A and B are shown apart, each in its own frame.
Chain A
Amino acid sequence: MVSKNKKLKKSFLSFQDTIFNLQKYWSKQGCIILQPYDLEVGAGTFHPATTLRSLGIKPWRTAYVQPSRRPTDGRYGDNPNRLQHYYQFQVLIKPSPNNIKKLFLNSLSSLGIKHEEHDIRFVEDDWESPTLGAAGLGWEVWCDGMEITQFTYFQQMAGIECHPVSVEITYGLERLCMFIQNKKNVFDLSWNNQGILYKDVFHQSEKEFSAYNFEYANTDNLFKIFDMLEDEAKLLTEKKLSLPAYDQCLKASHVFNILDSRGVISVAQRAEYIARIRELTKMIGKIWIESQI
């Protein structure tokens, strides 16, 4: 009886419990637990606690949840695996510790995933972000064939070589939870243990934002807004205000993502817009490093 109950309990590690456990675990490893950045971003990497803090020589350890927006991935809440808004759990440690693989595998244990019972693989995945001027080498971690984490040693950020090198661990929380709770549909995930499901929280939002991203976003205005944000960012870098400048850059990046999902950006234009954002990031990275000395 006891063992059966135990098993039952294990399969009910809720979405929020998963977050709590990871926060507790990484907090014990000396990471400061931050809150999500309060702007729309495409991934946890965009949080200044990762982009900017991975630059320069000062040690840094942090972990946080970051809501991430990928407008083109929206499916009006109809697809069991795709969302235009989802959560990443992000860990960034500089310099990368020697035992980081062990730390990572133990973090999975804290979620009930014991490495000896599963097929855990480190599959080559070199990461590159043209908008951030960033690149790294690492893996996607597969658990029984499912990608649950990205594991990256940053080599370059904002066009600047990283030294010391940071390691970034990014858990896709929905995927991870679907694995833990054995669910086929993301909307069926238990958010808590009191019966609230993922769909109760996010289904309407997926539907409405998909409509906005694909159909109703005013592209004429967004093109103008992009230009305005870019001007603002440039002005702020001249004033050596790296963080506010970076905010403008993040906003511009999100505007670009919406334009992209509206299908109004051609291949050639795409490269041009990405280059414009990268130029901003590079300038910001430079003044941020200068401000660190």
Chain B
Amino acid sequence: MSEFFLELFSEEIPPKLQINARNKLFLDLNNFFKDNNINIKGSTESFSTPNRIIINFSNISKEVVKKSQEIRGPSVKAKSEALEGFLKSQKIKKSQIYLKSTEKGEFYFYKKPKQKFKTQDLLKKNLPLILDKINWNKSMKWGNNQMFWGRPLKSILVVFDKKKIEFDFYHLKSSNYTFIDKEFEDKTKSFNNFKSYQSYFKSIKIILDQDKRKDFIINELNNLSKKNNLKINLKEDLLDEINNIVEKPKVILCTFDKKFLKIPKEILIITMQNHQKYIPTFDKKQNLTNYFLVVSDSKDLKGYIKLGNERVIEARLNDAEFFWDRNKSQNLIKQLSDLKKINFFKGLGSYFDKTQRIKKLSSLISDELMISKEKIEIAASICKVDLKSDLVGEYPELQGIMGGHFAETQGFEKEVCQSISEHYLPSGLDSKVPKNPYSVTLSLSDKLDTLVGFFGLDLTPTGSRDPYALRRNTIALVRLIVENKIRIKLRSIVNYSLTLYKEQGYEFDITKVLKELNDFILDRLKNYSKEKNIRLDIIESSILSNDIDELYIGYKKAEVLNRNINKEIGMDVVGIYKRSSNILNTEIIKNKLELSNSVDIGLFKNDFEKNLYKKIQEVKKYFLNVGKNDNFEDSLKELFKFKQDVNSFFDNVKVNDENELIKKNRLELLNLLCKSFDNFFNFSKIES
């Protein structure tokens, strides 16, 4: 049993490429051993630093025995060239083959004796192919070489059973040494086992294991912040990025001038996290402080590192402060006409045109959500003005948020500021959904305006391509409506939006847009429901009985039914409906019946019929009175009440009475029963 150990040393590979390559290599090597029946009894590990990708498998068999195998050659009827080819490919003589009949006729066969391979030889032969199979999302060439790699590859170290394995890989030759100084690549060192390799790097304080390195960083961050009474909110993606751009992390506490805390905190946080990969800190009340943590890749021997990083943040914040001071006092209303100079999209006018449309859409929606028309119109008019500001130029991810801050500084009302700030939300599946009705209104109008415009221009997403992010936009629209339980007539708003475009001279095919957008929105609702683990047949049935005017109701009913479908109540309700509708449909088709939708009480022959009829009347009354109530659990319970009467009816009453009139009357009764169910849900497509 032996150890296999490989290290690829290169110039700094970016985190994502590095992790992908490490995983792919690990997987391919595992598969290689498995495919060749090479036994691995020990551990299998993979590590990486920005400069090194490391694989270590322990306790691998040195030899692999391939069992004796019977190989079928060509048919006796084949031309002689086929046989010659077979002999050549197997490297055997004619005396070694024999004839054998099979179901498909007579064939030549060769019994290949059992064979022994040295793992080492297999590795030598296959490693170059495995390395070449790493698929870099982005790769490059360098110098005069032909190799493609994430960043220039400098050495390949491969050791098996304490000995190096040598092969050629493009311009490189594998060996058992690597560069130990990533900076100058002057010093090399050879290793014959993983343990000595590991202990060497430990001695120079490099943490090869990414998981241990991450734990180390987290620990250091926590310790240092605790020691200084600071709180940190560690973001996983930032942490992962930091972890994969260092090999010997050191955490340093730095500060910036307190005066910058008066700049909106979003700017400070983005500058620290996104631009500089720093960790911002907070006090006990979750207020941002002027301390931040830097994960350095070197020990700060002379204090230069702390000083340097503090100077960088100072320069950046100076810039931000300069812009903030300038932008915050630029009157939002006075800048409105400047929006005419910013094109929203070719064929959809400028941002000024867009805000004019949003303003009217918001005004319409404000009636339904019962909010102040005046306030929402102001918010809609100025919500895009921040696009002109230097700050949004510098920090595009803060669009909307900056507008909110500007509005606040200039004394606009709270709802106005908040809705401007939140009108791009939700921005993704995990993003927060605004709750404030002003924010919801503004966000809905903005998104609908965009959707109607792009559908009007026939720029709808095709396949996986969605260059204008219309899918994301629509998911946001669905979430705004569903998660805020809004009952809003979308169709009329889409119609109004089309009118507004027309008033500005942009004329679209109204019927086409309405139809396509309707389907598109419903498709997104399906996706959204899928994310929420709602069965496809349930949401589809729910949508069948609801168009986009009833988006929330459609979702909510599906959600309630989905939650109960495997419980007694759900199964029974579906069961009752199915039993009744099956009989009804069969008879209608068989007898080509036309139903009148009315029952003749005089034709009832027994109490079972009467009771069922009575129950149907009760349920009908319930649904008449339920009105806008969205407690669909109750509706389901109401339908469940049919159980006893329906069962007694089917147990005791023969629908197919000899008397055609009575038979038809009973079918009419079943028809009424099914219609009661339709009040709640279209059960016909539900799989029981």
B315 touches A184 (CB 8 A): yes
Residues of chain B within 8 A of A162, CB atoms compared: 141
B18 to chain A, nearest CB (A): 10
> Which B-chain residue is minimally distant from A97 (CB atoms)?
B143
Q: Which of B183, B294, B318 contacts A145 (CB 8 A)?
A: B294
**Cβ-closest chain B residue relative to A103:** B184
> Do A96 and B143 contact each other (CB < 8 Å), given the known contacts A121-B297, A144-B309, A145-B294?
yes
A19-27, A122-130, A197-205 - interface stretch: A122-130
Cβ of B11 within 8 Å of any chain A Cβ, yes or no, is yes
B296 contact set on A, CB distance < 8 A:
119
Q: Is the CB of B11 within 8 A of A122?
A: yes
Residues of A within 8 A of B309 (CB): 119, 144-145
Contact B304 A137 (CB under 8 A): no
Q: Which residues of B contact A256 (CB under 8 A)?
A: none
Residues A102 and B183 in contact in the complex (CB < 8 Å), given A118-B298, A122-B11, A146-B311: yes
**Would you call B308 and A144 a contact (CB within 8 A)?**
yes
Which residues of B are found within 8 Å of A120, using beta-carbon distances?
A: 183, 298
CB-CB nearest in chain A for B346? A268
**C-alpha spacing A202/B139, complex, angstroms:** 41
Whether, in the assembled complex, A95 has its beta carbon less than 8 Å from a beta carbon of chain B, the answer is: yes
Binds B, one of A75-83, A243-251, A274-282: A75-83
B residues 278-295 near A (Cβ < 8 Å) are: 278, 294
Chain B: which residue is nearest A267 at the CB level? B343
List B contacts of A117 (CB < 8 A): 301-302, 304
CA distance A163 to B144 in the complex (A): 7
Interface of chain B residues 326 through 363 with chain A (CB within 8 A): 341-343, 346
- Interface SS of B by simple majority: loop
The interface residues of chain A lying within 8 Å CB-to-CB of B15 are 124
- Whether B12 sits at the interface, judged by CB under 8 Å, is yes
CB pair A164–B308 under 8 Å, yes or no, is no
Partner of B143, one of A95, A178, A268: A95
Q: Determine whether B651 belongs to the interface, using a CB cutoff of 8 Å to chain A.
A: no
Name the interface size band of chain A.
35 or more
Q: Is A242 an interface residue (CB 8 A)?
A: no
Interface size on B, residues (CB 8 A): 46
Distance to closest chain A CB from B315 (angstroms): 5
Q: Is A48 an interface residue (CB 8 A)?
A: no
State the Cβ distance, A290 to closest chain B Cβ, in Å.
22
With A118-B298, A118-B305, A144-B307 as contacts: A95 and B144 at CB distance below 8 Å = yes
Mask, A101-143, CB within 8 Å of B = 1, is 1100100000000011111111110100000000011010001
Within 8 Å of chain A (Cβ to Cβ): is B319? yes
Q: How far is the CA of A101 from the CA of B185 in the complex (A)?
A: 8
A137 close to B151 (CB less than 8 A): yes
**How many angstroms between the C-alpha atoms of A96 and B145 in the bound complex?**
10
Q: How far is the CA of A98 from the CA of B145 in the complex (A)?
A: 11
Q: How far is the CB of A197 from chain B (nearest CB, A)?
A: 18
**Residue B312 CB within 8 A of the other chain:** yes
In contact, A81 and B298 (Cβ under 8 angstroms): no
**Cα A263 to Cα B343 with chains together (Å):** 12
Q: How many Å lie between the Cα of A120 and that of B341 in the bound state?
A: 43
Which chain B residues border A121 with CB–CB below 8 Å?
12, 245, 297
B138 on the interface (CB 8 Å rule)? yes
- Give Cα distance in the complex from A98 to B296, angstroms: 27
Docked-complex contact A119 and B298, CB < 8 angstroms: yes
Measured CB to CB, the residues of B under 8 A from A are 11-12, 14-15, 50, 138-144, 151-152, 154, 183-186, 245, 276, 278, 294, 296-298, 300-302, 304-305, 307-309, 311-315, 318-319, 322, 341-343, 346
A-B contact pairs, 21 of them (CB 8 A): A78-B322, A80-B318, A96-B142, A96-B143, A101-B183, A101-B185, A115-B183, A116-B301, A121-B12, A144-B304, A144-B311, A145-B308, A145-B313, A146-B312, A146-B315, A155-B141, A163-B141, A165-B144, A167-B142, A179-B308, A266-B343
8 nearest A-B residue pairs (beta carbon): A144-B308, A124-B14, A145-B309, A122-B12, A137-B140, A145-B312, A119-B296, A266-B343
Q: A81-B315, A167-B142, A267-B343 are in contact. List 12 more A-B contacts (CB 8 A).
A: A79-B319, A101-B185, A119-B305, A123-B245, A144-B309, A144-B311, A145-B276, A145-B308, A145-B309, A163-B141, A165-B140, A165-B142
